[in-house]
Amino acid sequence: MNKSQLIEALAKAENLPVKKAEEVVNTFFGDMEEALVKGERVEIRGLGSFKVKNYDGYTGRNPKTGEMINVAPKKLPFFKVGKELKERVDIEQ
Amino acid sequence: MTLTKASIISHVADDDMGRSKAAHVVESLLEIVKYSLQKGESVLVSGFGKFSVKGKNERRGRNPATGADLMLRGRRIVVFKTSTVLRDKINQG
The tens digit of pLDDT for each residue in B56-83 reads 888 898 988 998 898 888 889 999 999 9
- Do B47 and B3 belong to one domain? no
CA distance B22 to chain A (A): 9
pLDDT for residue A34: 96
In whole angstroms, what is the distance from residue B90 CA to residue B83 CA? 11
- Do B51 and B93 belong to one domain? yes
- Do A6 and A35 belong to one domain? yes
Residue of B58, B90, B92 best to disrupt the A interface, most CBs of A under 10 A: B90
- Do A87 and A68 belong to one domain? yes
- Do A72 and A45 belong to one domain? yes
pLDDT for residue B93: 60
- A31/B11 Cβ within 8 A: yes
In contact, B3 and A37? CB cutoff 8 Å: no
Buried-exposed string B57-75: b where 16+ CB fall within 10 A, e elsewhere: eeeeeeeeeeeeeeeeeee
Residue B77 amino acid letter: I
- Do A4 and A23 belong to one domain? yes
- Do A69 and A88 belong to one domain? yes
Confidence of residue A79 (pLDDT cuts 50, 70, 90): very high
Residue A39's region, left for phi above 0, alpha for psi from -120 to 50, else beta, is left
The tens digit of pLDDT for each residue in A20-49 reads 999 999 999 999 999 999 999 999 999 999
Q: CA-nearest residue of chain A to B76? A: A90
